[in-house]
Structure 1
Amino acid sequence: MVKEMQPHYFLAVPVPQLIQSALHQEARQSGQLQFQRWVHPNDIHLTLVFLGGCTEKQLHELVQHGRSLVENWAPFSLTLSQSGSFGQKKQPRIFWVGVKASQQLAVYQSQLADLCRSLGFAVDQRPYAPHLTLARKWAGDEEYNGDGLALRNGQSWEVNEIILYESHVQQEPKYKTYQAFSLKGVQHESD
């Protein structure tokens, strides 16, 4: 009997399904990318804060305070940029596509991280590096050379919600919406 792992949680920007599917398909068909594991298209997202395991109390407080925080945020746009990798340059462990710098994304991510810290979560202290993970663990015979690929480079989408996801590593897709928070703030002309 396989023991079910406790779910982990994270806050993320969802990616529209058309973009998820297109990124997945283009990356797999590029011919340059030989990875052992590909992220299920429905699991492609932009992580804001990884939380790990949570108690019911933490989840309840996060939902309550997270909703209050996010409802004041104005919707904003994100634009895909070039690809990159994490890990050894010749045999990376992660292949990702980035997003162009966004002041609103940086501010909102920082506010969410601060909220999570105040609720007792151990938030990653490294500088935030926004990216959409597409694949894991290089498996090619040749050295990796996929950084800078223009997969959907320049494609944008409007961010209208933040999702608190629950992860189930033994299922596919792995990520299920635990709670969605709508951005209801008013955009200003200068935004």
Structure 2
Amino acid sequence: MSSQRLFAAVLPPAPAADELAGAVAPLHEVPGAGHLRWTARAGWHYTLAFLGGVEEDVLPDLHSRMERAAHRTEPFPLRVHGSGRFDGRALWAGAAGGLDTLRLLAARAGAAARRAGLPMEEHRRYTPHLTLARSRVQVDLRPFTEALAGFEGMRWEAGELSLVRSRPPVDGVPGEQPRYEVVRAWPLGR
């Protein structure tokens, strides 16, 4: 039986991604930018729950539980806001707006996956972030986070919970990016 690497996410709309792309472009000129692997714009998302490898026979139950999680959560305002880093290895853009609802949706997506029988990692405080770049080596990311610190993206309404398939980059291909495909999406609210 085949499995798929899946995660639940909220995806920014194209105008918000356009705006963020404009703010990120100058960062490619910051000293040290060459040490970073910049995520492709098509991969920008706010992960709610990473599900790992999911077997085909689990999908019907998982889909129905994710649908319930979406319907129990009302649409909420969101915007890309500011920046941060995880150690010296990941640069990200943050979020502002309905963060309590975003955290609730993340908890519901994780619970849906657990109830469908998926082994989910221990719960830790959810930090909404949209990964912009990663590094295999320790990099001083402060110049990048400082450059994006004041970024205030346009307000948009998060109205959908997406289940996304992740395909890892092809080994040995320079610049190869993970590929993401929305396999199912459910509207928020009733």
The TM-score normalised by the length of structure 2 is 0.81
| RMSD of aligned Cα (Å) | 2.5
Query: For residue 127 of structure 1, what is the aligned residue in structure 2?
Result: 125
Per-residue CA deviation, residues 104-140 of structure 1 (Å, 9 max, x unaligned), is: 1122211221121122222232221110001111779
- Matched residue of 1:100: which SS? strand
Q: In the alignment, does 2:74 pair up with 1:74?
A: yes
Opposite residue 26 of structure 2, the aligned amino acid is Q
Alpha-carbon offset, residue 26 of structure 1: 2.1
Q: Is the deviation greater in 153-162 or in 51-60? A: 153-162
Which residues in structure 2 correspond to 1:44-123 (within 5 Å)? 44-87=44-87, 92-100=88-96, 102-123=99-120
Alpha-carbon offset, residue 143 of structure 1: 3.7
In 1, the alpha carbon distance for the partners of 2:16 and 2:136 equals: 23
Q: Is the deviation greater in 143-152 or in 127-136? A: 143-152
Alpha-carbon offset, residue 18 of structure 1: 2.3
* Identical residues among aligned pairs (%): 28
Aligned residues: 176
Per-residue CA deviation, residues 121-179 of structure 1 (Å, 9 max, x unaligned), is: 22232221110001111779x84322242364243211111110001123756100110
In 2, the alpha carbon distance for the partners of 1:138 and 1:53 equals: 23
Query: For residue 158 of structure 2, what is the aligned residue in structure 1?
Result: 159
Alpha-carbon offset, residue 67 of structure 1: 1.1
- Matched residue of 2:36: which SS? strand
Opposite residue 145 of structure 2, the aligned amino acid is D
Opposite residue 112 of structure 2, the aligned amino acid is L
Q: Is the deviation greater in 35-44 or in 66-75? A: 66-75
Gaps of 5+ in 1: 186-191
Opposite residue 141 of structure 2, the aligned amino acid is Y
Alpha-carbon offset, residue 15 of structure 1: 0.9
Q: In the alignment, does 2:5 pair up with 1:8?
A: yes
The verdict on how the C-alpha distance between 1:143 and 1:43 changes in structure 2, with shifts beyond 3 A counting, is: closer
In 2, the alpha carbon distance for the partners of 1:71 and 1:133 equals: 27
In 2, the alpha carbon distance for the partners of 1:151 and 1:138 equals: 27
Opposite residue 184 of structure 2, the aligned amino acid is Q
The TM-score normalised by the length of structure 1 is 0.80
Gaps of 5+ in 2: 171-176
In 2, the alpha carbon distance for the partners of 1:130 and 1:144 equals: 18
Q: Is the deviation greater in 37-46 or in 72-81? A: 72-81
Per-residue CA deviation, residues 70-101 of structure 1 (Å, 9 max, x unaligned), is: 123211111222111112xxxx1110011126
